[in-house]
């Protein structure tokens, strides 16, 4: 293929054609421009080639490099150095002493078979401490921002099937799944995503999602380079500490596109003050992608309503669907039309059918028309392709769909290369439930997280979102809904709550109100445990780890503030904490 049609070829071309244009701007603090660090295309190319020569002198093509970097330009240089050296990048979060993260990192190191760890001097002590406790305590650690002798980099042609990086998804620590992403996948995906953005020239994309997450790496960093544009990044800690900083980034750095998960838009809606809102201009923002987790109708509406005064167009809020196994994006709501939010009948919806609302309803959000990979909605049991308005597993096929998982043949065989009952082959089984309705893909949730109670299908994110509407003390906090067999399935909702100013009677009234609301809206009995903020674990990209919450609940490891649990459920907990019986 043409060298300019690879990621490395594109960077070399831009370094020659636009050497002084910013490829990357890293904003450490939106209030302190002096702390910004930027790299032009020429600087990024030169720094990446220098490090590539150093790495290639020690490692043959195809070796895996574990990238453990805090937010900043050093990660971007190291990532492109791996591309130039034909080494396979393995982005991952810096170890921070949390047992669950460290266990996961050890699993990634073991599964990837990484030959070295790349990091910076500021993170090197933590990285060395972590590697010393792994199966490979002597693994080389390359501190890439320290001076080293130069080894010239010599360009070599490579196939578009060469692996660019491994994207480890947020699965179990025992069975890590490193999605293999090739240069062919990246090129095909860039064309898809830029078409979704509605741009045919340089685009400025930015945000706070970490670079070890596909939404940050591909959405914010790689895609703008394919357009000849600029990536504007900030640390996720800055956003979480002060949510308005994300919107200041959009305003002050003239972003065309920004990306984030649903919970982040919820945080903006409730945490940005009126005074902060008055100083914002969001009129230039073309696309605000809402993806990575199920999109809630009330979040889309609240976000567009809250920031309309700052010039935000309703059309800019773009719900999207994607996953690492398809490189990133699959569909996205059109950038020139308001998101499709439709009330549908709740009873048929629970039976995996969609019909227009007549009485009791739920609202579903469209994630866009099919303009990227081919999409089929398939019956899980028979592999039969389902018609519109029927909920089934989402299957995908196309050049942006990745070839499989690294060193995991069983998971690859179970997920990739699926064949429909009609004989169509080469499909990815996403594990997600969805339906085509009025021309757009609507995503219901993960198959493995779907709650099946008395023959009805409930989706945990719907219960969690509904609980947050009952009282402001639950707003912007995490919850997890799941079932426990006692012996029949019962629904349990664990949710964080701020109750410092409530007395015992008020706490009890709040718990009762939540249980009543959920039971009424979803037609099932609901068990509830309210716990302190920070008790519900999330992944590094903010996704709630429902399976881990369930495990901790059953082990009695979640401290209750107030609970409404049946005697049957309390008996399943290994060391039951005090709870109010029903």
pLDDT reading at 578 higher than 50: no
**Is the pLDDT assigned to residue 579 strictly greater than 70?**
no
Average pLDDT over residues 201-217: 94
Predicted model pTM: 0.86
pLDDT of res. 174: 54
The whole-number pLDDT of residue 359 equals 64
What is the three-class DSSP state of 48? helix
What are the tens digits of pLDDT across the range 233-273?
A: 999 999 989 999 999 999 999 999 999 999 899 899 989 99
What's the CATH architecture for 3-260? 3-Layer(aba) Sandwich (3.40)
Domain boundaries in the chain? Answer: 3-260, 451-581
The secondary structure element, H or E, covering residue 439 is none
Query: Do 261 and 327 contact (CB within 8 A), yes or no?
Result: no
**Region of residue 404 (left: phi > 0; alpha: psi -120 to 50; beta: else):** left
108 closest CA partner among 94, 119, 87? 94
- pLDDT tens-digit series, residues 474-518: 988 999 999 888 777 889 999 999 977 788 888 899 999 999 999
**CA 128/CA 12 separation, integer angstroms:** 34
Strand segments (E) across 139-229: 141-143, 163-168, 178-182, 204-207
In whole angstroms, what is the distance from residue 241 CA to residue 239 CA? 5
Q: Which of 249, 241, 287 is nearest to 267 (CA)?
A: 241
Q: Is the pLDDT of residue 99 over 50?
A: yes
For residue 362, how many other CB atoms are within 10 A of its CB?
A: 20
Phi and psi, residue 444, nearest 5°: -90, -35
101-110, 418-427, 557-566, 571-580: segment of lowest average pLDDT? 571-580
Confidence of residue 574 (pLDDT cuts 50, 70, 90): low
3-state class (DSSP) for residue 511? helix
Question: For residue 1, what pLDDT is reported?
Answer: 36
Local confidence band at 3 (pLDDT 50, 70, 90 cut-offs): very low
105 three-class SS: helix
Is the pLDDT confidence value at 544 over 90?
no
Query: What average pLDDT does range 341-361 have in this prediction?
Result: 81
Q: What percent of the chain has pLDDT over 70?
A: 96
In our burial notation (b when 16+ CB lie closer than 10 A, e otherwise), range 522-535 reads bebebbbbbbbeeb
Report H helices in 165-243. 183-197, 214, 223-227, 236-241
List alpha helices for 198-321, DSSP H.
Answer: 214, 223-227, 236-241, 244-252, 262-271, 274-278, 297-307
Hey, what CATH class is 451-581 in? alpha beta
Strand-pairing partners, residue 544, are: 538
């Amino acid at each position: 293929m043409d060298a300019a049609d690879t990621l490395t070829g594109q960077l070399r071309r831009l370094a020659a054609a636009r050497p002084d244009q910013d490829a990357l701007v890293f904003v450490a603090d939106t209030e302190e421009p002096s702390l910004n660090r930027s790299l032009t295309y020429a600087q990024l190319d030169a720094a990446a080639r220098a490090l590539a020569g150093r790495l290639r002198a020690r490692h043959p093509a195809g070796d895996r490099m574990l990238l453990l970097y805090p937010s900043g330009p050093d990660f971007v240089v190291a990532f492109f150095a791996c591309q130039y050296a034909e080494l396979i990048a393995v982005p991952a979060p810096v170890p921070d002493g949390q047992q669950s993260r460290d266990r996961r990192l050890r699993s990634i190191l073991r599964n990837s078979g990484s030959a070295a760890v790349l990091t910076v001097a500021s993170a090197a002590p933590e990285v060395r401490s972590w590697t010393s406790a792994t199966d490979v305590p002597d693994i080389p650690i390359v501190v890439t921002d320290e001076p080293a002798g130069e080894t010239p980099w010599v360009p070599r042609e490579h196939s578009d099937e060469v692996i660019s990086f491994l994207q480890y998804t947020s699965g179990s620590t025992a069975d890590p799944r490193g999605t293999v992403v090739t240069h062919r996948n990246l090129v095909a995906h860039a064309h898809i995503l830029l078409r979704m953005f509605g741009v045919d020239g340089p685009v400025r994309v930015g945000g706070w999602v970490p670079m070890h997450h596909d939404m940050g790496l591909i959405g914010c960093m790689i895609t703008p380079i394919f357009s000849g544009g600029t990536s504007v990044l900030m640390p996720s800690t800055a956003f979480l500490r002060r949510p308005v900083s994300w919107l200041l980034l959009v305003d002050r750095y003239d972003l065309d596109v920004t990306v984030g998960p649903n919970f982040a838009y919820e945080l903006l809606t409730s945490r940005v003050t009126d005074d902060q809102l008055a100083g914002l201009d969001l009129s230039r923002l073309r696309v605000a992608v809402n993806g990575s987790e199920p999109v809630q109708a009330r979040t889309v509406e609240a976000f567009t309503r809250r920031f309309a005064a700052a010039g935000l167009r309703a059309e800019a809020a773009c719900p999207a669907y994607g996953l690492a196994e398809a490189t990133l994006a699959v569909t996205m709501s059109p950038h020139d039309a308001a998101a499709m939010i439709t009330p549908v009948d709740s009873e048929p919806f629970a039976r995996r059918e969609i019909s227009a609302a007549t009485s009791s309803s739920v609202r579903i959000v469209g994630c866009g028309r099919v303009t990227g990979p081919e999409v089929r909605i398939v019956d899980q049991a028979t592999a039969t392709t389902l018609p519109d308005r029927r909920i089934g597993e989402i299957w995908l096929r196309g050049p942006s769909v990745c070839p499989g998982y690294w060193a995991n043949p069983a998971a690859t065989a179970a997920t990739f290369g699926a064949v429909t009952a009609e004989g169509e082959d080469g499909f990815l089984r996403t594990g997600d439930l969805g339906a085509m309705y009025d021309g757009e893909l609507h995503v219901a949730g993960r198959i493995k997280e779907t709650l099946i109670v008395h023959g009805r299908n409930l989706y945990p994110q719907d219960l969690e979102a509904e609980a947050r509407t009952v009282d402001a003390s639950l707003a912007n906090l995490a919850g997890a809904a799941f079932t426990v067999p006692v012996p029949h399935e019962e629904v349990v909702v664990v949710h964080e709550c701020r109750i410092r100013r409530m007395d015992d009677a008020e706490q009890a009234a709040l718990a009762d109100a939540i249980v009543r609301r959920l039971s009424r809206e979803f037609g099932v009995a609901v068990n509830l445990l309210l716990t302190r903020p920070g008790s519900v674990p999330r992944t590094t990209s903010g996704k709630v780890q429902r399976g881990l919450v369930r495990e901790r609940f059953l082990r009695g490891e979640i401290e209750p503030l107030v609970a409404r649990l049946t005697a049957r459920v309390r008996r399943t907990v290994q060391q039951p904490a005090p709870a109010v019986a029903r």
